[in-house]
Amino acid sequence: GQQVMQIPQYQHVQEGEDFTTYCNSSTTLSNIQWYKQRPGGHPVFLIQLVKSGEVKKQKRLTFQFGEAKKNSSLHITATQTTDVGTYFCAGRSGGGADGLTFGKGTHLIIQP
Amino acid sequence: DGGITQSPKYLFRKEGQNVTLSCEQNLNHDAMYWYRQDPGQGLRLIYYSQIVNDFQKGDIAEGYSVSREKKESFPLTVTSAQKNPTAFYLCASSKTGAYGQPQHFGDGTRLSIL
Contacts of A99 in chain B (CB under 8 A): 33, 35, 45, 48, 56, 58
The C-alpha atoms of residue B95 and residue A97 are separated, in whole angstroms, by: 8
Label the pairing between strands B4-7 and A61-65: unpaired
Element (H, E) at A7: strand A4-7
Q: In the prediction, which pLDDT does A97 show?
A: 58
Contacts of B57 in chain A (CB under 8 A): none
CA B86 vs. chain centroid, Å, equals 14
Q: What is the pLDDT of residues A36-77, one digit of tens each?
A: 999 989 999 999 999 999 999 999 999 999 999 999 999 999
Whole-number mean pLDDT of chain A?
93
Does residue B74 register a pLDDT over 70? yes
Contacts of A35 in chain B (CB under 8 A): 103
Does residue A95 register a pLDDT over 60? no
**CB–CB of A106/A4 below 8 Å?**
no
Which residues on chain A place their C-beta less than 8 Å from a C-beta of chain B?
1, 4, 6, 9, 30-31, 33, 35, 41-45, 48, 50, 88, 90, 92, 95-105
Sign of the CA dihedral with B59 first, then A96, B55, and A45 last: positive
CA B57 vs. chain centroid, Å, equals 12
Cis peptide before B8 (omega within 30 of 0): yes
Contact B40 A4 (CB under 8 A): no
| Backbone angles phi and psi of A62, in degrees to 5 | -125, 125
- Kindly provide the b/e burial profile for residues B74-108, where b requires at least 16 CB atoms within 10 angstroms of the residue's own CB: bbbebeeebeebebbbbbbbbbeeeebbbbbbbeb
For B42, the closest of A33, A96, A104 (CB atoms) is: A104
Q: In the prediction, which pLDDT does B83 show?
A: 87
Contacts of B33 in chain A (CB under 8 A): 99-100
Q: What is the pLDDT of residues B31-72, one digit of tens each?
A: 999 999 998 788 999 999 999 999 999 989 999 999 999 999
For B107, the closest of A42, A90, A92 (CB atoms) is: A42
The C-alpha atoms of residue A112 and residue A91 are separated, in whole angstroms, by: 33
| Backbone angles phi and psi of B53, in degrees to 5 | 65, 20
